[in-house]
Amino acid sequence: MPRRTIILTSVLVGIVALIGGILGIASRSTSYDATAKVSVEPASTDPVQSLSGVDTLSRGPVTSTFAEAYSSSRAVDAAFEKAGISPAEADQVSVSSSVITDTSFVLVTASSAEPVLAERAANAVANATPDLGGYSAAFTTKLFDSADGSATRSGAGTATLLLIALVVAGVLAVVTAAVLGRIFRPPGGGSGGGFGPEDGDVTMSPRRARTRVTQSS
């Protein structure tokens, strides 16, 4: 295969890969994450009981239990109903929660295609008080940071994805050129990898060239 054909084919493969990547980026769904922070604190105002509660919190299980309760469907549904979030809006939101390591803080994160809805949902759940029986009597929760203005697009940004698509397209083009060069390497095994003389070119060995010069003289 002529070198020109290999180059054109490789470029075409790279362009097709790049266009496919751009179309994929353009059609991807956009999601926003909004996060509210909740503080878990001892409910008692008695100094001795309060210190005991702080010691219990430092061990982790209490805060983890509250975090699990915040993301339960029961707590989320009740919080949405209280905040006036309709069932149609609730279907567009997912809620998760986590504990900030070695603290008594719980992060409540809501994800949605609508940033304002994500913030409303996170605030609604964070302002709720999960019913945890004995834990609810011994500990209380307070909204430490609201989710207002915290909505950010999840996943990699468009610029990053475009750069990745460009790199992948370039790599595919180079690999295609290398593979075609190896497949269509001329007989005799030159090291050019298919990038030897064009079809129809005439090559002449040094010995034959010297012989022709001698005969003509």
Q: Is the pLDDT of residue 172 over 70?
A: yes
For CA atoms 165, 168, 173, 174, give the dihedral sign.
positive
Q: Confirm whether pTM is higher than 0.85.
A: no
Longest alpha-carbon distance in the chain: 118
Q: What is the pLDDT of residue 130?
A: 81
Q: What is the pLDDT of residue 95?
A: 94
Q: Is 149 helix (H, G, I), strand (E, B) or coil?
A: coil
For the record, the structure tokens of 211 come out as: 């012989």
* Highest mean pLDDT, choosing among 45-49, 69-73, 158-162, 194-198: 69-73
Q: What is the pLDDT of residue 195?
A: 47
Distance between terminal CA atoms of the chain? 38
% of the chain with per-residue pLDDT over 70: 70
Render pLDDT for 90-144 as a digit per residue (tens, 0 to 9): 999 999 999 988 888 999 999 999 999 999 999 999 998 887 766 666 778 889 9
Q: What is the pLDDT of residue 15?
A: 85
CB within 8 Å of 88: residues ≥ 6 apart: none
Residue 205's pLDDT band, with cuts at 50, 70 and 90, is: low
Q: What is the pLDDT of residue 166?
A: 82
Residue 92 backbone dihedrals phi, psi, to 5 degrees:
-95, 5
The residue-averaged pLDDT of 47-56 equals 46
User: What's the CA angle centered on 150, arms 149 and 154, to 5 degrees?
Assistant: 130
Rounded to the nearest integer, the mean pLDDT of the chain is 77
Render pLDDT for 8-50 as a digit per residue (tens, 0 to 9): 888 888 888 878 877 776 666 578 999 999 998 877 555 444 4
Q: What is the pLDDT of residue 192?
A: 47
Q: What is the DSSP string of 129-147?
A: ----THHHHHEEEEEEE--
Residue 59 backbone dihedrals phi, psi, to 5 degrees:
-85, -15
Residue 199 backbone dihedrals phi, psi, to 5 degrees:
-60, 135
